[in-house]
Chain A
C-alpha cells in the first residue's frame, strides 16, 4: 500500500497515494484539468502542454499529467498565467485546425471545442496555415482520417500500440510532423485490423466512423449498453442510437471492440432484414400478417406428423428454451438440434458443467497460457489482446499452431505440428506431464477415471506430430504450474476435450478454458435443447440457423431468422427474428454464469419467446410463460440441473460429440448477417477460420 500524501489543489486539500499525478489528484476532487494528449488508461506523453499548472515556489509551469504530486504541494490549476498559456496553445491549434464545428461530427463531444468555449479563445488569432497540402479524407475504408483536424496529441498512436497493431506514429519531423502510418500508406496496407481504438481516443473530429456521418449529432444520441454478438467473447458494447437507428458502436466497460464489434453492427438496420412474415404461395414467398403466418406455421407443423427443430447459437438462452418447449408441448417432439458445433460437448463432457469457461480477465491474469488452433489472434482480436497483455505482464505462452501466425511471434514456445495433428500435440503434452511427474496427482484422483487415465497415458506411445519431443517436454514443464488457461480457436470437440484433460491433469478446473466460437451464445444450447434424435421428421422449424446445404428436405418448413437465408428461401413460412441486440434474455458467460442482456435496440419484431408462444397457441397449446422472467427461470433450472461430473476424457478418441450426447451435425456457416455488413465490403475483416471446416467435416 503506497503512502498517503496530502497536497492543496486550488486551495482545496486532497489526499492521494504517493505516485499519483497532479492531474489524477485534481480529478479525484472533481477538478478537471484540460488535456488533449493525456487519456486515462494510456501512457502519458506530456506533449500537448495544455495541462500545465502552477506550483507554488516553482518558477516553471508543471505538466500535471506527468508530474507526481508531492506532500505539501500547493497547485493552481487555473491561475492567470496558466490560463494565458492554455489560451496561447489553443490559439495555435486553431491555426492548424481547418474545421467547421457546424458540420463536424464531433461537435458537442469535441475537447478542442469545449476548451475553446471555456476559455473564450480567439480562433483567428493566428492565421490558418496551408491546410490545402493535406487531404481532408485519406480514403480508408470504415473510418475517415482528416489530418486537417489533427491536433498531434498522439493518443491514437498510443492506443494503437497498446490495443492493436501499433501501425500509427509521428511521421516527418519538426514543423512537418503528422500522425500517420509508415510511408503514409493507406491503413489497409499497413496491417491495420480496423478495431477503431484510435477513434475512441481522438479528442477532435480527425478520426470518425464513416457509417455515422450525417446521421445525427452527438447530443441526439441515446446510448444503450449491450454485448457484441459477433463471437463467444461477447465484449461489452455501447450502441448509440439516433432517430431510432443505431449509428455507432463503442466499446463498453471492457474498453475494446474488434472490427466486428466496432463496425459490424450495421446489419441491424439493413434493408434486407426480414421485418414482416412471409408465407409460401406456390413458388413465391408473399408478405403476410403475423397472425396469418403464425397460424399457418402451427397448422403446417401440426399436420406434418413428426416434427424436428434446429436452433442456432446466436440467440438467447430464453429463445432456445422456449423453442425446445414449443417443439415438446405443441408438437410432441424432443428432436431439437443445436448447431453450436462440437465445442460445447468438448467442455461439458470433461467438466460436467460450464464453470470451466474462462473470460478475458482470466486470460489477462494468467501466468501460463496454452493457445491452440489456427488464426487465433487474427480471428479473435480480443483474445489476442488478452494474451498480449498477459505476456507483457510476464506470462509464458505456449502456442500450438501449424502456421507462423501473429500469436506464434509472441510465444515462449511455439509448437508447430503438421496441420490437423494439434490434438495429438495436446496428447503429447499430457504424456510429458505424466511421465515427468509434473501432473497434480491429488487433483486427478478426484476425477472420475482420472487415476486410470494417468496410467493409460504413462504406457501409451507418443503420437507423431512433427514436433520435436524436447519441445513438447519443455511446453509440459512450462505449463505444469501457476495460474494457467487454455485458449482454443479450434472448433473441434477433440481438441477441446484434450485441452480439458490437460487442465484436469494440472488441477485447473474453474475458469481455465477459453474455447473461442464465432457465435454469441454457443455454450448452453446443448443443455437447453432436448436433443433426442427421432426418425426422419416430416416437418421442421429452424430458428436462427442456416444449415441449408446439410438440411434434408421436409414436407413443411418454418424458418425464423434475421434475413432471407438460403434455408429461409426454401421455407413454407418465414418469420422475422430479433437480433441479439434487440432481445432481452440471458447468455452463458464466464464461469458458466448466466449473463443478462437487455433489449438495447428497439424492434418492431415481437420477442422470440412471444412468437414461439403464439405458435404454440395457434396449435392449441400453451407455453407456461407469462413473461420473459418466467422463461429465464426455466433456463436457470435447466442450466444448473445439468451439472454433471468431472470425467477424464479419452485422449485417443473424443472426436465425435455423438459419443457423448445425441448430436446431429449440420453445417455451421458464418452468421447470416456477416455477409451483409460493411466490414465484408471493405474486405478488411479477418475471417474466423475453421468456422465451417472442422464442424462440417
Chain B
C-alpha cells in the first residue's frame, strides 16, 4: 500500500491513503468496503473544502470502527484502521471548525494585508485570480486612495498574493 506522503495536513493524508486504497488494493467484491471508502472519500473531500460538518466526523468514525468488523480481508481492515488513526488527530475537528493547522488546505486558509507594512504597490491585486483584493496604488498627490484589503468572501485562500508581495505585507489569519 502506498503510504508515502509529503503533505503535512492530516485529513489530506487520510484522503490520499483512501484514494490509493481504492485505486490499488480494493477489489470491490464484498459490499461494505467499496461503499464505505467511496463515502469516506466524499466526506473528507468536503472537509478539506471547508464544507465539513460535525456529523461527518461521526460518520467517518463509524466507518473506521465498523469496517474493521465488516471488511472481509485484511486490506479493508487495514484501511479502516488507518482512517481511525487519522481521526484520532485533533486536525479533523479543527478542519470542521474552519482551520487547517498546517495551512495546506486552501479552502480553509485566509489572509490579510498588514496596512503598516504595505507599500501600496498593487502587485497583489494584479496577481489575485479571484479579484478579491480591493485598493488603489499609491499616488503621492492624492489623498483619497484606498488602502489594499482582501475581501474574505471572494478569497479562496490560494496564496498567490503572498508570493508576489515584495514587502511581506500579507499574513495568514486562519
Identify the A interface with B (CB < 8 A).
36-37, 46-49, 52, 60-61, 63, 81, 84-85, 88-89, 91-93, 95-96, 125-127, 129, 151-154, 170, 172-177
In whole angstroms, how far apart are the Cα atoms of A174 and B71 in the complex? 13
Identify A177's interface contact among B34, B59, B69, B70, CB under 8 A.
B34
For B59, give the chain A residue with the smallest CB separation.
A126
Beyond A46-B30, A81-B69, 16 additional contacts (C-beta under 8 Å) are: A49-B30, A52-B69, A85-B69, A88-B62, A88-B70, A91-B62, A92-B31, A95-B35, A125-B62, A127-B42, A129-B38, A129-B39, A153-B31, A174-B22, A174-B27, A175-B26
In whole angstroms, how far apart are the Cα atoms of A89 and B36 in the complex? 9
In whole angstroms, how far apart are the Cα atoms of A91 and B59 in the complex? 10
B134 located at the interface, meaning its Cβ lies under 8 Å from any Cβ of chain A in the complex: no
* 0/1 interface trace, chain B 25-52, chain A, CB 8 Å (1 if under): 0111111101111110010000000000
In whole angstroms, how far apart are the Cα atoms of A219 and B135 in the complex? 71
The 6 closest A-B pairs by CB, nearest first: A177-B28, A88-B66, A47-B30, A92-B35, A174-B28, A174-B26
Given contacts A47-B72, A85-B70, A89-B70, contact A152 B31 (CB under 8 A): yes
22 A-B residue pairs with CB within 8 Å = A47-B30, A47-B31, A48-B30, A49-B30, A49-B31, A49-B70, A49-B71, A49-B72, A61-B69, A63-B72, A84-B66, A85-B70, A88-B70, A91-B62, A92-B39, A126-B39, A127-B39, A129-B42, A170-B29, A173-B26, A174-B34, A177-B34
Indicate if the CB atoms of B59 and A125 lie closer than 8 Å: yes
Indicate if the CB atoms of B31 and A176 lie closer than 8 Å: no
On chain A, the residues within 8 Å of B31 by CB distance are: 36-37, 47-49, 89, 92-93, 151-153
B139 located at the interface, meaning its Cβ lies under 8 Å from any Cβ of chain A in the complex: no
B23 located at the interface, meaning its Cβ lies under 8 Å from any Cβ of chain A in the complex: yes
**Interchain nearest-CB distance for B21 vs A (Å):** 9
Given contacts A127-B42, A129-B39, contact A175 B28 (CB under 8 A): yes
Given contacts A60-B69, A95-B39, contact A89 B27 (CB under 8 A): no
On chain A, the residues within 8 Å of B23 by CB distance are: 174
**Interchain nearest-CB distance for B73 vs A (Å):** 11
For A85, give the chain B residue with the smallest CB separation.
B69
**Interchain nearest-CB distance for A21 vs B (Å):** 16
If over half of B's interface residues share one DSSP class (helix, strand or loop), that class is named, otherwise mixed; here it is helix
For A178, give the chain B residue with the smallest CB separation.
B28
In whole angstroms, how far apart are the Cα atoms of A377 and B63 in the complex? 49
Identify A175's interface contact among B30, B34, B59, B67, CB under 8 A.
B34
Indicate if the CB atoms of B34 and A89 lie closer than 8 Å: no
Given contacts A126-B39, A175-B22, A175-B38, contact A47 B66 (CB under 8 A): no
Identify A173's interface contact among B28, B67, B69, CB under 8 A.
B28
Which of the listed residues B23, B31, B59 has the most CB atoms from chain A within 10 Å of its own CB?
Answer: B31
In whole angstroms, how far apart are the Cα atoms of A177 and B63 in the complex? 20
In whole angstroms, how far apart are the Cα atoms of A47 and B62 in the complex? 20
For B58, give the chain A residue with the smallest CB separation.
A125
Indicate if the CB atoms of B35 and A93 lie closer than 8 Å: yes
On chain B, the residues within 8 Å of A152 by CB distance are: 31, 34
On chain A, the residues within 8 Å of B69 by CB distance are: 52, 60-61, 81, 85
In whole angstroms, how far apart are the Cα atoms of A47 and B76 in the complex? 13
On chain A, the residues within 8 Å of B63 by CB distance are: 88
**Interchain nearest-CB distance for A502 vs B (Å):** 48
**Interchain nearest-CB distance for A55 vs B (Å):** 13
For B63, give the chain A residue with the smallest CB separation.
A88
In whole angstroms, how far apart are the Cα atoms of A10 and B54 in the complex? 37
On chain B, the residues within 8 Å of A174 by CB distance are: 22-23, 26-28, 34
**Interchain nearest-CB distance for A87 vs B (Å):** 8
**Interchain nearest-CB distance for B75 vs A (Å):** 11
In whole angstroms, how far apart are the Cα atoms of A261 and B157 in the complex? 65
In whole angstroms, how far apart are the Cα atoms of A567 and B56 in the complex? 72
On chain B, the residues within 8 Å of A125 by CB distance are: 59, 62
**Interchain nearest-CB distance for A535 vs B (Å):** 73
For A81, give the chain B residue with the smallest CB separation.
B69
On chain B, the residues within 8 Å of A176 by CB distance are: 28
On chain B, the residues within 8 Å of A153 by CB distance are: 31
In whole angstroms, how far apart are the Cα atoms of A88 and B27 in the complex? 20
On chain B, the residues within 8 Å of A177 by CB distance are: 28-29, 34
On chain B, the residues within 8 Å of A96 by CB distance are: 35
Identify B27's interface contact among A46, A48, A91, A173, CB under 8 A.
A173
In whole angstroms, how far apart are the Cα atoms of A125 and B36 in the complex? 12
In whole angstroms, how far apart are the Cα atoms of A19 and B144 in the complex? 90
Interface residues of B in 1-41 (CB under 8 A from A): 22-23, 26-32, 34-39
For B30, give the chain A residue with the smallest CB separation.
A47
**Interchain nearest-CB distance for B169 vs A (Å):** 42
**Interchain nearest-CB distance for A240 vs B (Å):** 29
In whole angstroms, how far apart are the Cα atoms of A170 and B34 in the complex? 13
**Interchain nearest-CB distance for A131 vs B (Å):** 12
In whole angstroms, how far apart are the Cα atoms of A96 and B28 in the complex? 14
On chain A, the residues within 8 Å of B59 by CB distance are: 125-126
In whole angstroms, how far apart are the Cα atoms of A126 and B59 in the complex? 7
In whole angstroms, how far apart are the Cα atoms of A189 and B35 in the complex? 30
Which of the listed residues B22, B27, B30, B69 has the most CB atoms from chain A within 10 Å of its own CB?
Answer: B69
In whole angstroms, how far apart are the Cα atoms of A63 and B36 in the complex? 19
**Interchain nearest-CB distance for B25 vs A (Å):** 9
For A129, give the chain B residue with the smallest CB separation.
B38
On chain A, the residues within 8 Å of B70 by CB distance are: 49, 52, 85, 88-89
Which of the listed residues A85, A91, A151, A174 has the most CB atoms from chain B within 10 Å of its own CB?
Answer: A174
Indicate if the CB atoms of B37 and A89 lie closer than 8 Å: no
On chain B, the residues within 8 Å of A52 by CB distance are: 69-70
On chain B, the residues within 8 Å of A89 by CB distance are: 31-32, 70
In whole angstroms, how far apart are the Cα atoms of A172 and B26 in the complex? 12
**Interchain nearest-CB distance for B67 vs A (Å):** 8
* 0/1 interface trace, chain B 105-138, chain A, CB 8 Å (1 if under): 0000000000000000000000000000000000
**Interchain nearest-CB distance for A154 vs B (Å):** 8
On chain B, the residues within 8 Å of A60 by CB distance are: 69
In whole angstroms, how far apart are the Cα atoms of A88 and B30 in the complex? 14
Given contacts A52-B69, A126-B39, A175-B22, contact A88 B32 (CB under 8 A): yes
In whole angstroms, how far apart are the Cα atoms of A61 and B29 in the complex? 19
For B39, give the chain A residue with the smallest CB separation.
A126
On chain A, the residues within 8 Å of B38 by CB distance are: 129, 175
Which of the listed residues A47, A84, A175 has the most CB atoms from chain B within 10 Å of its own CB?
Answer: A175
For A173, give the chain B residue with the smallest CB separation.
B28
For B34, give the chain A residue with the smallest CB separation.
A175
On chain A, the residues within 8 Å of B28 by CB distance are: 170, 172-177
Indicate if the CB atoms of B35 and A47 lie closer than 8 Å: no
On chain B, the residues within 8 Å of A81 by CB distance are: 69
